[in-house]
Amino acid sequence: MQILEILRRPIISEKSTGLQERDKYTFEVALGANKQQIKQAVELAFQVEVARVNVITMPPKWRGPGRRRGQTSPWKKAVVTLKPGQKIEFFEGL
C-alpha cells in the first residue's frame, strides 16, 4: 500500500473540532493501514511531526427500512496527535 493511499479523508465533526484544540486531528484511513503507515502518511502529506496515533475500527451498521435493509461498510478512523507547536493548516480554514 502506498503512503498517500492511506489517508482517505479528514473527519470534520463537533467532536473532532474540539480535539483540534489539543493538537489532535482525525482522519478516515484505509482498512489495511497500521499505526506506523498512518504516521508516515501524515508526516509526508502535511510536513508535521506526529507524537502518537490512535486507531479505531468502526463496525458496520444496519441501515434502511424493512426488506431494503443493508449494512454499511466497516471503516477505520485514526486520531493523530501532533508534537507541541505543530499545526495542520488544512484544518484551520474549515
Instruction: Say what the pLDDT of residue 89 is.
Output: 84
**Closest by CA position to 88, among listed 30, 34, 43:** 43
Query: What distance in Å separates the CA atoms of residue 16 and residue 24, rounded to the nearest whole number?
Result: 8
Number of Cβ within 10 Å of residue 89's Cβ equals 9
pLDDT bracket for residue 90 (50, 70, 90): confident
Name the CATH topology of 3-63+71-83.
Alpha-Beta Plaits (3.30.70)
Q: What is the pLDDT confidence band of residue 94, given thresholds at 50, 70 and 90?
A: low
For the chain, counts of helices (H) and of strands (E): 3, 6
pLDDT at 71: 95
The structural domains of the chain, with segments of one domain joined by +, span 3-63+71-83
Q: Express each pLDDT in 4-51 by its tens digit.
A: 799 999 999 999 999 999 999 999 999 999 999 999 999 999 999 999
Q: pTM of the entire structure?
A: 0.89
With contact defined as beta carbons under 8 Å apart, do 49 and 66 qualify? no
